[in-house]
Amino acid sequence: MRSTLVLLVLPVVLASCASLGPQPESLEESVCGTLKEPLVFWLWSRSAGKSNPLLAQKIKNAEALAYETSDGRILRGYKLKAMPKDGVVRGSVLLAQGNAMLAEQLLWSMVGLSEAGMDVYVFDYRGYGQSNGKSRLKAIVSDYREIFENLIPKKEGKRFLYGISFGGVIVANVIGSGVEFDGAVIDSSPSRLSDHGCEAKYDAVANVPQNASRMLVVTGGADRIVKPKDSQDLRAMIEQRGGKSVVRPDFAHPFMDSSIEKHQERMALIRQYLVELETR
C-alpha cells in the first residue's frame, strides 16, 4: 500500500517541481563541506564575539553604513572618512578582516590609513555581528565583490583592497572575479583552502591575476596561525607575476604581534605601499 501511494504521489511532486522552472543559485550553499563549513563559521563567528558599536563611536571620523546584497541580506559596517594630514585625498580601501573579527574591532588600527588620505570601508561578514544571513565562503566572496563594485567610489581616487588572514582569501577571490582595482595587500593569508575541503577555485593562489604588479603579500616569520610555508605558493605566484612579497621574521599573525609598536610597524608598511601606489 505504501509503495503504491509513493508511485501515485511522485509524479505530482515531479510535475510541481518542473512547473517552478530553474531555481536561483543560492549564495549560502556550502563549498567547503555541507557539515564542516557551517560548523566552522559558527565557531568563528562566536569567537568574534558580540558587536559593540560604542567602539566605533569613540572614533570621530567613523560613520555607520548598511549595504543590501543581491540576495537581500543586510550587511552593516563602517566608513572611516579620509582625514589626510597633508591635505591629499588618495582614494578608498575596502578591508576584509580575519575570520574571527568584527568591523568595529579594527577601526582603531585603520586610523593611520584615513590620515594618509584614504576612506576605509569595513563590514561585518554576513552572519557576524550586526550583519544578517548565513556565513558561507561563496556568499562572503560575492558580498565583497558587490561592495567593491557598487559602494567603493570609482571616480574619487584609487580603489584599494586590503585582506587580513582569511580576509586575504576573500580579497584574492574578488580580484580573481575580474574587478578593476588599483592596488591590494594580502596580509598573512594561506595559499589554499582546498587543503581543508573547499573547492579549489576559491584558493587564493588560483585567483592571482596575470598582472599582479599592484599586489603585496606580507608574511610573518613568527606567525603560528598561518605559517610562512602556508603562504609560500601564493607569494611565489604573485612575485612571478610582477608583485611584491615581504617576509618579516619579527611579525606574527596580524593583531597578534609581540607589541603595539610591532603592530604599528606592520600598518606603516602597508600604508606606505598603498600611498606609493597612489602616485604611480
Q: What is the pLDDT along the chain (280 residues), one digit of tens a residue?
A: 433 333 333 343 333 344 344 344 699 999 999 999 999 999 999 999 999 999 999 999 999 999 999 999 999 999 999 999 999 999 999 999 999 999 999 999 999 999 999 999 999 999 999 999 999 999 999 999 999 999 999 988 999 999 999 999 999 999 999 999 999 999 999 999 999 999 999 999 999 999 999 999 999 999 999 999 999 999 999 999 999 999 999 999 999 999 999 999 999 999 999 999 877 7
CATH 3.40.50.1820 for domain 26-278: yes
pTM flag (> 0.85): yes
Dihedral sign, Cα of residue 59, residue 60, residue 63, residue 64:
positive
What the block records as the C-alpha cell of 251 is 611579525
118: closest CA among 89, 94, 153? 89
Cα distance between residue 49 and residue 228, in whole Å? 28
Per the CB < 8 A criterion, the answer to whether 65 and 104 are in contact is no
Cα distance between residue 171 and residue 160, in whole Å? 10
Cα distance between residue 191 and residue 245, in whole Å? 13
Residues in Cβ contact with 16 at an 8 Å cutoff, skipping those fewer than 6 apart: none
Q: How many helices (H) and strands (E) does the chain have?
A: 8, 8
Per the CB < 8 A criterion, the answer to whether 108 and 130 are in contact is no
Cα distance between residue 144 and residue 158, in whole Å? 17
Residue with cell 590620515: 115
Residues in Cβ contact with 208 at an 8 Å cutoff, skipping those fewer than 6 apart: 172, 175, 176, 215, 234, 237, 238, 241, 243
In the three-class reduction of DSSP (H, G, I as helix; E, B as strand; rest coil), residue 181 is classed as: coil
